[in-house]
Structure 1
Amino acid sequence: MSLDKSRFAQIVNEDARLNILEALNMQPSGQLNETLLDAALQRCGHNRSREWVRQQLKWLAEMGAVTLDEPGNVLVATLTRAGLDHIERKAFLDGVKIPRPEF
């Protein structure tokens, strides 16, 4: 059984979106700018362009998982209740990897 290119891209996107939500959740303010989120994603193995990071952030905003602000030329993401509910496994967002339960 082989993994086609589009399915692999979907898996990568879902994983990155979860990593973004988790990084935001680790902040007391629930906020990070795209530069710091890019660094967090690289630590998780997602070495992608800044535009790709922005696409993931905009997708998460469309789903209601984050809000976005753009002071200057940098996006700042803020975790929402829907994003937190996903991380806490209370309600799930389609298109975002489901977090593993903590034991």
Structure 2
Amino acid sequence: MSIYVRVEITPHDGKQAEFEEIAKALVAGTADEPGTLSYRVFSDAPGSYTFIEEYVDAAASAAHGKNSRELLGQLPGIADITRIDVYGGPGDDVAKIASVFPRATPHAQVF
């Protein structure tokens, strides 16, 4: 089973360009992460972004966090994370993965 992470982010006023540079760097950095299956950024309105991430397992998700620590550490100063959802299958322990993120909601596959 894969682990999916969905993150909604809104850049602070005047910080959209800076946010986009960090987002681009995060996407580029995943090219060398063997456990990252997909890492994409979407937008449904100007100034609103959604990251959809897919990892082979919890360890790959944690490795991404470690590899991207410097870039991810810049986000709180330029953007608000408004929602985080973590999805996984049986045995993925999505509650444990979600507990790493503030206000994250775990979603366990039921069938």
Report if TM-score (shorter chain) is over 0.5: no
Task: Give the TM-score taking structure 2 as reference length.
Answer: 0.30
Higher helix fraction (1 or 2): 1
Higher relative contact order (CA 8 A, sep 6+): 2
Which is strand-richer, 1 or 2?
2
